[in-house]
Amino acid sequence: MDETVKKYLNELKKMGIEYQILEHPQLISVEKVQEYLGYGMADAGATLLMKADEKFVAIIRRGDTKLDNNKVKIFLGVENLGMATEEEFAKITGVPSGAASVYIKGLPTYIDKKVFEKKYINAGSGSLLVTLRYKTSDLKKIPGVKIVDFTEIKSDEKISKTIIGKKRILSGITPSGDGSLHIGNYLGAVRQFIELAKNNECFLFVADIHALTTVQKREELEKNIETLILNELSLLGDLTNITFFRQSDVPMHTELQSILNNVTSLGLIKRAHAYKDKLQKNQTEEDINMGLFNYPILMAADILLYKTDMVPVGRDQKQHIEITRDIADSFNKTFNKKIFKLPEPFIPQEVAVVLGTDGKRKMSKSLGNIISIFDDEAVIKKQVMSTYTDPTRKHATDPGHIEGNMVFTYLDFFGEKKRVEELKGLYKEGKVGDVEVKNFLFETLMKYFAPARARYQELKSNPQQVKKILIEGAEKAREVARATMVEVREAVGLTNQYSFFKY
């Protein structure tokens, strides 16, 4: 911490102003700093150095507000109002632009009242590498400070997306199977991701490097990847808040894995489920490749590379996030730099663990108990008609049971509620047969997934559109990953000293 910051902190202590020190790399904007620290612009305090006629004043506003210049001019009784130039800023504050503190000695200070709607706010310290988290009520202790009403909330859509609560979400899908998705995949993962993407920044990648642990035939892997990409893009639809890309298109994943290998203990990885499960299935260490053994480290690299806040996982995957947190913490402590966030697992309380059409086991292609989404209608109808219902019911006129009846289980997820409840009543009374409710389920699924199926056909016939999505996604992912790796390389000593290599 430089002497300018230390001197400023002493001034704050004298005034009785509380603060928390938040260190971060030098970033290009307040938005990026807030994002790095895990806050939104409503939690940022901006110190504006204004030239009012021939005098200078400091105005502190919230990051999600804009200044009403007319209000300021009327209040100050001046005719001309403008921002100080960079030269004027540096001369008056003694710090670079973007590093202004909330207290500038000898300068009249005005704090907009919207700042006090927050209990705490992040603002300048005099350094581009340190942000201070202030208790807003303490800001009233600044000598001669005046509380004013100078701003209004920005209505700009870009700003509104940075409100507190917005998180960075990351998820990966491994094309180890044939890549096709069924309604169990949709209910268990895709649906939750679509919901999360409405109010968060989401990164979703096809984990093709992970797939190499089990798929080692080129043609098979290429087909799996292509199918999975088409399935995912068709179900996702709107990609407004989603960066979709292939893991192998971002080389920083494997570079970071190599670095993290050196701060990860052997014992930690030996405790991982993936490794232990293989040993329990009578496989020897000779049968387990290093890709599978190192799987948790690559997964940690995937997550940490994007400064991820939350990772949607099932309960059986929670250990991977715990390992990732351990690795991140180990790196931060080893190199004495808080580069990596400690991500949180996102485990929805009501994640649908959907039984298959046999009503006994989890829906799985290998068990043949699925209902497809993108197969031909004839295939899907056959799957629906094989669905387990009520084995005690011999005739359509017999009273039927709803509990454990997979047709009604699926209808509860996809059907129109009123009509489903009507059918349940008729079924219990023996007034509707299995064939009728199965036909209704088939029609319901066709209607529910009609937009996705249409997108699937469009994308399948237009590979250039898919290629464009993947290129744009990879470029965005590389931009974020590159920024992280610059920090990582700096921390470990692999600095870019030579002109022949530059991120």
- Indicate the DSSP class of residue 401: -
Of the chain, the end-to-end C-alpha distance in Å amounts to 27
- Residue 134 CA, distance from chain mean position: 27
Between CA 195 and CA 186 the distance in angstroms is 12
**Residue 243 structure tokens:** 């960066």
CA dist 31 → 44, 98, 369, 396 (Å): 9, 12, 48, 63
CA dist 68 → 59, 300, 353 (Å): 12, 46, 53
Between CA 443 and CA 441 the distance in angstroms is 5
**Residue 105 structure tokens:** 């000695």
- Nearest CA to 265 out of 331, 210, 344 is that of 331
The amino acid occupying position 369 is N
Between CA 172 and CA 203 the distance in angstroms is 8
Strands 19-23 and 130-135: antiparallel
Between CA 190 and CA 180 the distance in angstroms is 13
Between CA 209 and CA 175 the distance in angstroms is 9
H or E stretch including 450? Answer: helix 450-460
Other Cβ atoms closer than 10 A to 28: 9
Residue in the block written with tokens 């004013």:
148
Q: In what order do the strands lie in the sheet with 55-62?
A: 81-83, 45-52, 55-62, 109-112, 146-148
Q: What angle do CA 175, 176, 177 make, to 5 degrees?
A: 90
| Strand, coil or helix: 423 | helix
Q: What are phi and psi of 337, to 5 degrees?
A: -140, 130
List the catalytic residues.
278, 362, 365
Between CA 24 and CA 429 the distance in angstroms is 66
Between CA 34 and CA 410 the distance in angstroms is 42
H or E stretch including 311? Answer: strand 310-312
